[in-house]
């Protein structure tokens, strides 16, 4: 495939078609932290090798899109893609989100010394739950639908200290469905529990190393439809975290 073909093609980003080559370059530059991430997620077919080579040679010269540009975009579908590319951490840092809940919990987790002997590791872990109102993100020209708020839980890796922002669904963040009149009960622990999804019943315990989750089976364990952990399951099953 020649580069001239690449420039003439139409591109799909985050499920939306219709982007030009130059737009796609900037969106990808924004979405992926490094060209290696771009390769991992986009260059999934041998025919795209030329595009991969082009990006490698030009990555540093491509200008990422900004939050301000996203707000200037009048097409809401394109704006959604821009927000998707910008990412949850930068979006929440820029838009002064509303803090809904903050919890610090004392954890006792198993770790192992250099001889692989277990010991108990006590530490404090904090979680914060935030909301950005839909009006801040999307301006709808009709009154048919109120723009949706977005929610994210903020947490810190207890080993590396790195900060993470993870989007969670509204009903998990607030504890209520949209059509319910019940009061909101935001819960940052419920939100972080939701980020662990298993497909086995009766897990014995759970190990988490970064984004890798290991669930130990019991004799009663069976494969079931994937489900997200509840707060209670999270607090009961987490055995080791790092």
Partner 1 sequence: MNKQMSKRLVLGEGEAIGHKHVLECNRDIEFTRHTDCLRLQLRNLGILTHDEHAHMVLPVGFHRRYHQVEFNPMDNTVNRVFD
For residue 211, the minimal CB distance to partner 1 (Å) is 4
**Alpha-carbon Rg for the chain in angstroms:** 21
- The 3-state DSSP class for residue 144 equals coil
Partners of 111 in the β-ladder: 119
Q: Contact residues for partner 1 (CB under 8 A)? A: 14-15, 33-34, 36-37, 80-81, 83-84, 88, 111-112, 116, 118, 121, 148, 150-151, 157, 159-160, 164, 166-169, 172, 195-200, 207-217, 221, 223, 226, 228, 240, 242
What is the DSSP secondary structure assignment for residue 222, as one 8-state letter?
A: -
Cβ nearer to partner 1, comparing 1 with 135: 135
For residue 28, the minimal CB distance to partner 1 (Å) is 14
Cβ nearer to partner 1, comparing 9 with 214: 214
Cβ nearer to partner 1, comparing 8 with 123: 123
Length of the chain: 242
Residue 123, token pair as written in the block: 């530490």
For residue 228, the minimal CB distance to partner 1 (Å) is 8
CA distance readout (Å), 49 to 9, 63, 136: 15, 22, 39
Residue 51: how many CA atoms within 13 Å on its side-chain side? 22
For residue 7, the minimal CB distance to partner 1 (Å) is 27
For residue 99, the minimal CB distance to partner 1 (Å) is 18
- Given a contact cutoff of 8 angstroms between Cβ atoms, the answer to whether 164 and 157 are in contact is yes
Number of H helices, E strands in the chain: 11, 11
Pairing mode, if any, of strands 205-209 and 238-241? parallel
Cβ nearer to partner 1, comparing 7 with 40: 40
Cβ nearer to partner 1, comparing 112 with 140: 112
């Amino acid at each position: 495939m020649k580069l001239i073909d690449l420039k003439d093609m139409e591109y799909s980003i985050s499920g939306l078609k219709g982007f030009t080559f130059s737009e796609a370059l900037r969106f990808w530059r924004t979405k992926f932290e490094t060209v290696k991430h771009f390769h991992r997620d986009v260059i999934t077919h041998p025919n795209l090798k030329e595009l991969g080579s082009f990006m490698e040679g030009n990555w540093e010269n491509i200008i990422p899109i900004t939050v301000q540009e996203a707000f200037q975009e009048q097409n809401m579908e394109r704006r959604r893609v821009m927000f998707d590319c910008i990412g949850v951490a930068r979006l929440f840092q820029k838009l002064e989100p509303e803090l809904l809940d903050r919890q610090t919990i004392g954890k006792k987790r198993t770790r192992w010394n250099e001889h692989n002997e277990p010991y108990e590791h006590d530490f404090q872990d904090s979680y914060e739950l935030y909301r950005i109102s839909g009006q801040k993100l999307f301006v709808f020209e009709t009154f048919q639908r109120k723009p949706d708020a977005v929610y994210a839980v903020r947490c810190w890796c207890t080993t590396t200290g790195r900060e993470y922002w993870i989007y969670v669904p509204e009903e998990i963040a607030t504890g209520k469905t949209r059509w319910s009149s019940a009061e909101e009960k935001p819960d940052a622990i419920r939100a972080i529990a939701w980020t662990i999804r298993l497909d086995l019943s009766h897990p014995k315990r759970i190990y988490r190393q970064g984004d890798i989750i290991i669930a130990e089976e019991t004799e009663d364990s069976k494969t079931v439809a994937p489900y997200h952990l509840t707060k209670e399951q999270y607090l009961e099953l987490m055995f080791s975290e790092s």
